Structure 1
Amino acid sequence: MTNPLVYASATDVLAQFASGQLSPVEYLTALIDRAEKVEPTINAFCETLYDEALAAATTAQAVYADREATPRPLEGLPIATKEKHAIAGRTLTEGSLALKGNIALENAPVIDRLLAAGGIIHARTATPEFSIALYTQSDMWGVTRNPWNPDFTPGGSSGGAGASLAAGSTPLATASDIGGSTRGPASFTGTVGFKAPYGRIPGAGPMSMDYYRGDGVMARTVSDAILFANQLIGPDPRDHATVPAITLPREYDDVAGMRIALCYRLGDYVVDPQVIVNTRAVAHALESAGAIVEEIELPWRSEEIVLASAGHFGTMMAQMVYSTVDGRVDELTDYGRAFVEMLRPIARTDEVNYFRSTQIETGMQRALAEAMTGYDALICPTSASTGLPAGDTLADGVDIDGTHVPLSLLALMTLPFNICNRCPVLAVPSGHADNNVPTGVQIVGHTYDDPTVFRIGTAIEKLRPWAFSLDHSPRF
């Protein structure tokens, strides 16, 4: 029988640590037991640090027992970290055989932040190679599966993070997002993902200079996402793009009187009807709480989104991969080779180039700002699809409600908000599809207006509870 502790919220666990009802060692042991049960199926972890974590949990236990000590905000709490978030002295491979044996020289900023807050790293989570796909599989680590339905992927690139949260083997996880890598897995696993606006959470250079990307958090509740984000936010000298720190409130007013825009297709995305039904249910719940929800259209077109991202990724991400592997492209996965070989040349053509990308991006950003004028936020689906098969590189595209979409990146509706990356976006669950894979919505705020997306997310969570429990969790 599943130990109910594994689906307790991080907030509740910390409260039990403080009251003495639960010890950090007892809690970590429950998570380890759970991981040993589910990992053979879901394969979310690429490395476990159980011995070190148990030693740290013992130290944290002594802190709570000492009445003179002041526990730190995450004292004794186990946290799974994405393998790309470097830990000094440990491997940093990005899931690529081309980097096998590579050792990190220093911690990533988010690692330093969570450790300084008292968090304990008990496991590292799998990603696709170089975090470049919307599924999670690699030649190095194999296929990661969705706990809700193992025939499907938990998404990518933070798929290991989402899978471990849904399976109950971690209460919090670090994530990153350059095209939907936090929000896609949140949608497919029924968890919460926060894509912070560019510069809110410090990253590791030189890719921290890429204004599409950013590090963030994943959790099972909105409150837990706030708890974790507050420990990661703020400037770091290693990332000159970081902006002044804010503290996200833990309590919010309800949504009565708020004006919220609703957009189902973000232009011309092909969206599964089940996704639309669940998104509409979220909108109706907000209306029932007194919010004014109005449907809008956006003039975005998928062709332009593809052109903009091809020029950007070809110039930035594909070049990073090529440079990092020092030309050893033959050691990459098939999708890794395709990423480098297709995007690097295309980014140098007359039709697709970096300047053309910025022209399109400017138009998209203006269109979003104009569409959101008069509204507090925008809600829309996170994924256009109700699930993507595990173990498939989706080289031929995806099928959505009987329509073939030739480019798999259009299975997620996240990339436009990396193009508009000064907007905070909170991804929360909206329901389940017939295949039991969860669906989700994105809450998009005005530039750097993080509290508003958490206010709406908190309301949705109360109006349409999705809390993990023994009655509502993957069956293992």
Structure 2
Amino acid sequence: MTTDLPYLSATAARALFDSRELSPVELMHALIDRAEQVEPHVNAFCEQLFDEALVQAEEAEQRYLGRGPAPRPLEGIPVAAKEKHAIAGRSLTEGSLVNKDVVAAESAPVIERIHAAGGIIHARTTTPEFSVAGFTHTPMWGVTRNPWNLAYSPGGSSGGSAAALAAGTTPLATASDIGGSTRGPAAFTGTVGYKAPYGRIPGMPPMSMDFYRGDGPMARTVDDTILLANMLIGPDVRDHTSLRPAITLPTQYPSVEGMRVALSIRLGCFVVEPEIEANTRAVARALETAGAIVEEIELPWTAEEIRLAVTTHFGTIMGAIVAQVAAGNEDLLAPYTRAFATQTASARTGATFVDGLRIETRMHRQLAEAMSGFDALLCPTSGVSAYPAGDDMLDGIVVDGQRLDHAAEALLTLPFNINNRCPVLAVPSGHASSGVPTGVQIVGHTYDDATVFRVGKAVEQPRPWDYTREHRPRV
């Protein structure tokens, strides 16, 4: 079992802890050994908390041996935390030299809940600077690479979390999503990411008020994603948008037989590479084999309207925050961050926030009308199979022979940040010719979280992407 421990699922680990066939200390040592092997190549961790983690693993072991309080739901399970999820008393740089001396005064809700559930945060994961990009590299931490092919990025901004999962250095990780920052990395690394509907999982102010974003879990399996999600869900007094009462996601679901699933390859306007389309259609066929009724639809969305809505939104909120934090220190920013600041500043002097809201509310209605009569929507997560590692892509990106002005336009994720009351589960769909995984999004009706997990479980069963000995990166 020792050689397989780094890729052991969290749910399997918990069962083995309960039966005393595995110790939390043994699992932690296996992950530390794995990190020492792969981190020089992958660079997913910006901070290692191994010494403290081993002490906590020993304490968890005593609980399983009946010496102390009963084990909690995540007792002894290692979790890698995205660095932007504050831990009281530790650095909170968001990957920026501008913030090199910042220390967090309090822990983020997701961190507090992991600790309260007995999870052990053994490492913190890399992001792009201020989480403003769909790839992961910074002047502070260097380049984070995709374990499946080191020439490529694991995506961003939760790229470090995704890379750690794929590399076998953690079974669970935290993520956040404001434009695809959970789902893009999940697609590029063959992992699972959950963009909860707005308010389901509490965040930290002031960004908790941004209705595009939300924190959430990543894992290698749907079951593990549910396990961590159930620990993170529920209201917090620091985030009055957080929903009450807390829900509990089921761990068992009926089959998808008789369910109606809408399939959209391009969401009206996106460019999608042929091998990604092929893998998406293979997922649709698997659902049909499982008894679902899949019908292809199209949406009336346009790239121009999405761009206008997004730039006015980011310009008003996230871009303004970055500009305030970096004021006077612009020379310390990464080139892509400077470009983001310039673009969002321009947006603040162009169309108004209300102009963006008009587009957003129209897109809300169009999605609701398109999904009427269906239980869920299936579409690709990304139109491009991979981003090159370390490339700022300031000149845009080519997707299926067509140049796009901005790398973010290659992701089919932003429409569901605009429609952020819809839960979205990102699951693997296959591999591209580069060896990098591809993924699909399962989109539910507003606040219908259980349905996306029901469909996700059905996708996972006939097309298993759990990391077996035959299906792992060779890093």
Tell me if structure 1 keeps the 8 A contact 2:62–2:68. Answer: no
> Is residue 276 from structure 1 mapped to residue 281 from structure 2 by the alignment?
no
Aligned equivalent of 2:454: 455
Aligned equivalent of 2:26: 26
Q: Please list, as runs of the form range in 1=range in 2, the aligned pairs for 1:91-110 lying within 5 A after superposition.
A: 91-110=91-110
Aligned equivalent of 1:393: 392
Distance in 2 (CA, whole Å) between partners of 1:326 and 1:201 is 31
Distance in 1 (CA, whole Å) between partners of 2:236 and 2:447 is 18
Aligned equivalent of 1:417: 416
Distance in 2 (CA, whole Å) between partners of 1:327 and 1:345 is 18
Tell me if structure 2 keeps the 8 A contact 1:2–1:34. Answer: no
Distance apart, 1:419 and its partner CA: 0.2
Distance in 1 (CA, whole Å) between partners of 2:218 and 2:471 is 19
Distance apart, 1:324 and its partner CA: 2.1
Note the residue ranges of structure 2 that are not aligned, 5 or more in a row: none
The one-letter code of the counterpart of 1:459 is: A
The one-letter code of the counterpart of 1:340 is: A
Q: Deviations over 1:37-72 (max 9, x none)?
A: 000001000000000000000000000001774210
> SS of 2:461's equivalent?
helix
Q: Please list, as runs of the form range in 1=range in 2, the aligned pairs for 1:147-186 lying within 5 A after superposition.
A: 147-186=147-186
Q: Please list, as runs of the form range in 1=range in 2, the aligned pairs for 1:74-223 lying within 5 A after superposition.
A: 74-223=74-223
The one-letter code of the counterpart of 2:120 is: I
The one-letter code of the counterpart of 1:226 is: I
Distance in 1 (CA, whole Å) between partners of 2:251 and 2:4 is 25
Tell me if structure 1 keeps the 8 A contact 2:280–2:379. Answer: yes
Aligned equivalent of 1:431: 430
Q: Which moved more, 1:321-330 or 1:357-366?
A: 321-330
Aligned equivalent of 1:238: 238
Distance apart, 1:408 and its partner CA: 1.1
Distance in 1 (CA, whole Å) between partners of 2:47 and 2:399 is 34
Q: Please list, as runs of the form range in 1=range in 2, the aligned pairs for 1:36-75 lying within 5 A after superposition.
A: 36-66=36-66, 69-75=69-75
Note the aligned Cα RMSD (angstroms): 1.1
Aligned equivalent of 1:289: 290
Matched residues, number? 474
Distance apart, 1:217 and its partner CA: 0.6
Tell me if structure 2 keeps the 8 A contact 1:78–1:122. Answer: yes
> SS of 1:463's equivalent?
coil
Distance apart, 1:16 and its partner CA: 0.4
Aligned equivalent of 1:345: 346
Distance apart, 1:331 and its partner CA: 1.6
Distance apart, 1:2 and its partner CA: 8.1
Tell me if structure 2 keeps the 8 A contact 1:146–1:153. Answer: yes
* CA separation of 1:68 and 1:130: change in aligned 2, threshold 3 A: closer
Return the TM-score normalized by structure 1: 0.98
Q: Please list, as runs of the form range in 1=range in 2, the aligned pairs for 1:322-333 lying within 5 A after superposition.
A: 322-333=323-334
Tell me if structure 1 keeps the 8 A contact 2:286–2:462. Answer: yes
Tell me if structure 2 keeps the 8 A contact 1:312–1:347. Answer: no
Distance in 2 (CA, whole Å) between partners of 1:67 and 1:464 is 42
Aligned equivalent of 1:266: 267
Q: Percent identity?
A: 63
Distance in 2 (CA, whole Å) between partners of 1:57 and 1:326 is 42
Q: Deviations over 1:184-235 (max 9, x none)?
A: 0000000000000000000000000000000011000000000000000000
> SS of 2:236's equivalent?
coil
Distance in 2 (CA, whole Å) between partners of 1:11 and 1:305 is 39
> SS of 2:368's equivalent?
helix
Distance in 1 (CA, whole Å) between partners of 2:443 and 2:125 is 27
Distance in 1 (CA, whole Å) between partners of 2:306 and 2:384 is 18
Distance in 1 (CA, whole Å) between partners of 2:215 and 2:443 is 17
Distance in 2 (CA, whole Å) between partners of 1:196 and 1:26 is 33
Distance in 2 (CA, whole Å) between partners of 1:394 and 1:178 is 20
Q: Deviations over 1:103-140 (max 9, x none)?
A: 00000000000000000000000000000000000000
Distance in 2 (CA, whole Å) between partners of 1:133 and 1:178 is 10
Distance apart, 1:438 and its partner CA: 0.3
The one-letter code of the counterpart of 2:132 is: I
Distance apart, 1:22 and its partner CA: 0.3
> SS of 1:215's equivalent?
strand
Q: Deviations over 1:150-199 (max 9, x none)?
A: 00000000000000000000000000000000000000000000000000
Distance in 2 (CA, whole Å) between partners of 1:64 and 1:2 is 20
Distance in 2 (CA, whole Å) between partners of 1:2 and 1:398 is 42
Aligned equivalent of 2:309: 308
Distance in 2 (CA, whole Å) between partners of 1:309 and 1:119 is 36
Distance apart, 1:330 and its partner CA: 2.1
Distance in 1 (CA, whole Å) between partners of 2:347 and 2:429 is 37
> SS of 2:225's equivalent?
helix
Q: Deviations over 1:391-444 (max 9, x none)?
A: 101111111122211221111110000000000000000000000000000000
The one-letter code of the counterpart of 1:359 is: R
Q: Which moved more, 1:69-78 or 1:80-89?
A: 69-78
Q: Deviations over 1:342-381 (max 9, x none)?
A: 21122221xx221111011011110000000000000000
Distance in 1 (CA, whole Å) between partners of 2:199 and 2:293 is 31
Aligned equivalent of 1:383: 382
The one-letter code of the counterpart of 2:281 is: R
Q: Deviations over 1:77-114 (max 9, x none)?
A: 11000000000000000000000111000000000000
Tell me if structure 1 keeps the 8 A contact 2:82–2:158. Answer: yes
